[in-house]
Amino acid sequence: MLAWVGSACGGGDAVVLPATIERVASTDAQTAPAGGTLPAPLAVDVKGSDGTPAPRAEVRWTMTAGSGAALSDSITLADGEGRAKVSLRLGPTAGAYAVRAALKLNLEKAVSFTATATAPPVISSVAPSQFTGGDTITVQGSGFAAGATVVIAGAPARVLATNPAGTAITAIAPVCLPPGSVSVVVRVGTASSNAVAATFTATAGPVRLAVGDYAFIDPLDVAGCATFPTAGPDSVTYLLAPQLAGGTAGDSATYRLLGDSALAGPAIAPAAPGARPFDLRFHDYLRGLEAGYAALPRPATVPRAPAAGLPIARSSEQLRTFRVCNVVTCSRTEDFSPVTASLRYVGKHAAIYQDIAAPADGFTDQDFQALGQMFDSDLYGTGTRAFGVESDVDENGLLFILFTPVVNRLTAKDQCSQAFVTGFFYAIDIDPRFRDDSRSNQAEVFYAIVPDPQQAVTCRFSVSSVRRLVPVTFVHEFQHMVSYYQHVMLRGGSSEALWLNEAMSHLAEELGGFHFLSLGDTVRFSEFVLGNLFNAYKYLKDPGARFAFFREGTGTLEERGAAWLLLRWLVDQFGDDLARRMSETGLTGAANIASATGEPVAALLPQWFLANYVSDLPGFTAPGRLTYRTWSGNWSFRRVYANLNRQSPSTFDRPFPLEPPVYLGGTFNVSDVLRAGSGDYFLAVQTAGQRGFGLQFSQGSGAPFPASVPARLNVIRLR
C-alpha cells in the first residue's frame, strides 16, 4: 500500500482549539515618537491545549490606554506557526499606551502590551526662512533623533548633521522646487513634525548638485530650473530618469526630453501591449475572475475560524473527488472535470492527492513524502509568516495539493516549447458565495501538473522537472490564496490590485529561496529566485517599454519583474513585516502601499527608480534610500547578473541589464512614452571644463504636461 499509511504524520489527529495566548516579549515595551508607528508589530503566539501552534486562531486587539492611537486592524489571525500580529501607530502626544490582545473564542484569555510615545519632532524655526536650491539651512526645534530627515515641499533635503541634543539639523535645500511658500517637515521614522512655512526662490543660476545629490523635478518646475553649470577640472556625469510617478495602473503619456536642442522630436503613441505567453494569459483570466467575485454580494455570514466547542477531525480519505478546471477559460459546469484522486501524503498543514488517471513512471511514495514535508516544514511557514494565514472553509486544517493530468492538458502540445501551466489556485474553491456551486470544491486546493516522462498527455515533464517547478509555483499561488482570503473574504474588500498581487507572489518565491539559502541549500535557492531575476533582467534591459503598474491581466514577464523589484525595494526600506501589513488589510494597490509605509507612492517611486541604477554602482556611494539591502554587497544585482552573464551569456547577454544611452555635453533630443510607474534612463556626461547645458521636459507634442499627469524628471549626480 502507499507510504502515507505508515509514515504520514498527523493523519488522525484533531485540530485543537486555541487554548493559550502568549505575548512575544520582544515586541512589548517599544518606544517611538508620538504620531509614529512602533518599530515592530505587536505579536502573540497562540497554542492549543496540547501546546502546539493554533493556526487561524482569531485574536482581538483593543487599545486600553492612550488616546489617538490606531491599530492596523481590530482582529488578526494567527499564521501557520500560531503567531498573530498587529501594527500600532501611536497617538499625537507623548506618554504611555497600552494594548490588549485576547482570544476571540475566549476573551478572558488575554495578554497586554505597553508602549511609550516619546516627544515628537517639533520645528520652532527655519533659518534662513528664504532660500533657494543648494542653500544650507538650519532647522531648529526638538526631538530630532539620529537619522531624522528633512522634507521640503515633499522633496528630501540632504541632511548634513543633527546635533547631539536633537535640537538642530543642518541640510541642503533640494533644487527645482516650485517658487513661493513651501512647507518644511522633519521626519523621525514614521513620525512627522509640524509643518513650518518658508519661502523658496527660483534659482538664479545653474543647478549645482554635489556627487550623490538628487532631485525629483515636476515638469512644471523644469523651465528656468534644470540648467547645469560648466564642468570643473574633472568630468561630470548625471543620471537623468524621466518617469510617470503616479499610482494609477495602466496610465501612459508621451514625453520629450531636450538637452540644449531646439529640434522637434516626433511624439510616439503608446505601444500596444505585446501578446503574453499562454501560461500568463491563463493566470490573467483567474485573477480577473477574482476581481469580479470580490464585487459580488456577500453571504449573510462568512466563516472566519473554527466554530467553538468541538475539535475538528482531519480528513484522511483514501479517495476523494475533485472538480478541476479543464480549459483556460473555464466557467461553465462542463469546463470542470470530475477527478478521483488517492491520498499520497497527509501532514500538519498539507494533504497531497494524485489523480488515479496520472501517467505511469511518475512520483514514487518517497517523492510524495519529500514534497509533502517540504510544503509542511518549509513553504507553509515561509508563506504564512510573510503574508498571514489562508482560509479553512472545510474546517479540517489542511490545504489540498492535487496532482492531476487535467492541469497538464491546459497546455496544448504546440505550446510546450514556449510556456506551460504548472499549477494554479481557483478562488471559487474557498469563496462562501460558491458553497452551493457544483464547480467549487469548497476546500483550499492547489492544482498541479503530474510528471509525464513518456509525454502521454501533452508536454513531456520529467519527474525531476515537476519536483523542481511545482514547489515554486505552490508558494506563488499560495500567496494568491492568502491574499483573496485576507482582502475579500475576511475584510470584505476588493481583491488586491493585479500588479501588486503578482508582486507579492513573486516576493513569496524569493522568500522561499532565501529560506533554503539559510539552510545552506544553494540549489533550491537558485530554483526559487532565478525566475524573478530573469524577469527583472528583462525589465531593466528596456524599462521604458513596460509598466510597473500594469492594469490588465497579470502582466508580461518584464512587468512582473518591475513589480517585484519595487516591492523588494519597499520591503528593504520599510522592514520585513511590510508584506504582511499589506496582506492583512482591505486596502489595495497604491493606497495599500501608502498606508503601510506612511509615504505617498508619488514620493516613493522616484527613489526606487534611481535605486535600480545606483544601488551598488561601482565607485559611487548611493544614499540609503536609493539602495537595495537584500540584494547588495556580495549578493548585489550587479554581481549576481555579472555571474549569470558568465554562466549563460545567451540568456543574460550583458553583465548588467540597465545600460542607459550616453549623451556627451548634454545635447540630446529624445521622445518616447512614459508608462505607469516606469520610465527611461539616460547619462549626460560633461568632459572637464565643458560648457553647461539646460533641459526641457514636456509632452511629446512639445506642450507642457498638465498638472494631472504625474510625470517626474529624476536627476542624480554620479561623479
Mean pLDDT of the chain: 89
Mean pLDDT of 51-79: 94
All three cell numbers of 714, joined, read 529624476
Mean pLDDT of 314-335: 86
pLDDT digits (tens, 9 = 90+) for 526-550: 999 999 999 999 999 999 999 998 8
Q: Is residue 584 part of a domain?
A: no
Asked whether the predicted pLDDT for residue 666 surpasses 60, the reply is yes
What is the C-alpha separation between 53 and 10, in angstroms, rounded? 14
Same domain as 131, residue 91: no
Q: Is residue 19 part of a domain?
A: yes
pLDDT digits (tens, 9 = 90+) for 424-443: 999 999 999 999 999 999 99
Same domain as 158, residue 101: no
Asked whether the predicted pLDDT for residue 19 surpasses 70, the reply is yes
Mean pLDDT of 210-225: 79
Same domain as 142, residue 82: no
Same domain as 68, residue 157: no
Model pLDDT, residue 275: 57
Same domain as 125, residue 99: no
Same domain as 101, residue 34: yes
Mean pLDDT of 131-159: 92
Asked whether the predicted pLDDT for residue 265 surpasses 80, the reply is no
What is the C-alpha separation between 527 and 541, in angstroms, rounded? 22
The model's confidence at residue 10, banded by pLDDT at 50, 70 and 90, is very low
Asked whether the predicted pLDDT for residue 316 surpasses 80, the reply is no
Radius of gyration of the chain from Cα atoms? 27
Percent of the chain exceeding pLDDT 70 equals 89
Q: Which residues pair with 33 in a beta bridge?
A: 118
Q: Is residue 716 part of a domain?
A: no
What is the C-alpha separation between 447 and 425, in angstroms, rounded? 6
Same domain as 22, residue 110: yes
Asked whether the predicted pLDDT for residue 520 surpasses 80, the reply is yes
Asked whether the predicted pLDDT for residue 452 surpasses 50, the reply is yes
Mean pLDDT of 670-689: 92
The set of residues, in sequence order, having a beta carbon less than 8 Å from that of 236 and lying 6+ positions away, is: 228, 685, 686, 717, 719
What is the C-alpha separation between 520 and 529, in angstroms, rounded? 15
DSSP-based three-state secondary structure for 241: strand
Q: Which residues pair with 150 in a beta bridge?
A: 186
Same domain as 101, residue 29: yes
Model pLDDT, residue 248: 86
| Domain, as residue range, for 185 | 121-204
Q: How many CB atoms lie within 10 A of CB 252?
A: 16
Q: Is residue 285 part of a domain?
A: no
Model pLDDT, residue 176: 81
Q: Is residue 158 part of a domain?
A: yes
Q: Are the beta carbons of 47 and 54 closer than 8 angstroms?
A: yes
All three cell numbers of 100, joined, read 490588549
Mean pLDDT of 340-355: 96
What is the C-alpha separation between 695 and 239, in angstroms, rounded? 13
Model pLDDT, residue 281: 65
Give the CATH number, domain containing residue 131.
2.60.40.10
Q: Are the beta carbons of 169 and 208 closer than 8 angstroms?
A: no
Number of structural domains, the chain?
Answer: 2
Mean pLDDT of 128-138: 93
Angle of helix 557-574 relative to helix 589-597, nearest 10 degrees, comes to: 20
Q: Are the beta carbons of 682 and 670 closer than 8 angstroms?
A: yes
* Final residue belonging to a domain, choices 180, 204, 228: 204
The model's confidence at residue 217, banded by pLDDT at 50, 70 and 90, is confident
Q: Which amino acid is at 421?
A: V
Mean pLDDT of 452-472: 96
Q: Is residue 181 part of a domain?
A: yes
Model pLDDT, residue 9: 35
Asked whether the predicted pLDDT for residue 310 surpasses 60, the reply is no
* Final residue belonging to a domain, choices 83, 101, 117: 117
All three cell numbers of 515, joined, read 529560506
Asked whether the predicted pLDDT for residue 40 surpasses 70, the reply is yes
Of residues 308 and 59, more confidently modeled:
59
What is the C-alpha separation between 81 and 51, in angstroms, rounded? 12
* Final residue belonging to a domain, choices 117, 145, 179: 117
Of residues 554 and 439, more confidently modeled:
439
The model's confidence at residue 154, banded by pLDDT at 50, 70 and 90, is confident
Listing DSSP states for 216-232 in one string gives EE-GGGTTTT-EEPPP-
Model pLDDT, residue 269: 46
* Cα-based torsion angle of the residue sequence 394, 370, 446, 463 in order, rounded to the nearest 10 degrees: -150
Angle of helix 601-614 relative to helix 589-597, nearest 10 degrees, comes to: 80
Q: Is residue 418 part of a domain?
A: no
DSSP-based three-state secondary structure for 198: strand
Mean pLDDT of 569-578: 96
The model's confidence at residue 297, banded by pLDDT at 50, 70 and 90, is low
Annotate 291-329 with three-state secondary structure. Answer: HHHHCCCCCCCCCCCCCCCCCEECCCCCEEEEEEECCCC
Same domain as 107, residue 135: no
Asked whether the predicted pLDDT for residue 643 surpasses 70, the reply is yes
Angle of helix 601-614 relative to helix 557-574, nearest 10 degrees, comes to: 100
Asked whether the predicted pLDDT for residue 262 surpasses 80, the reply is no
Cα–Cα distance list, 691 to 210, 230, 261, 266 (Å): 17, 4, 14, 27
What is the C-alpha separation between 617 and 627, in angstroms, rounded? 10
Same domain as 180, residue 129: yes
All three cell numbers of 242, joined, read 524621466
All three cell numbers of 483, joined, read 491574499
Asked whether the predicted pLDDT for residue 574 surpasses 80, the reply is yes
Model pLDDT, residue 7: 29
* Half-sphere CA count of 453, side-chain side, radius 13 A: 9
Mean pLDDT of 560-573: 97
Same domain as 136, residue 199: yes
Q: Is residue 165 part of a domain?
A: yes
Listing DSSP states for 34-101 in one string gives TTSBPSS-EEEEEEETTSSB-TT-EEEEEEEE-SS-EES-SEEE--TTSEEEE-EE--SS-EEEEEEE
Q: Which of 303, 635, 286 is nearest to 427 (CA)?
A: 286
Asked whether the predicted pLDDT for residue 192 surpasses 60, the reply is yes
Model pLDDT, residue 283: 66
Same domain as 183, residue 171: yes
Asked whether the predicted pLDDT for residue 413 surpasses 80, the reply is yes
Q: Which residues pair with 65 in a beta bridge?
A: 98
Annotate 464-500 with three-state secondary structure. Answer: HHHHHHHHHHHHHHHHHHHHHHHHHHHCCCCCCCHHH
Q: Which of 200, 173, 37, 197 is nearest to 123 (CA)?
A: 197
Distance of CA 62 to the CA centre of its chain: 28
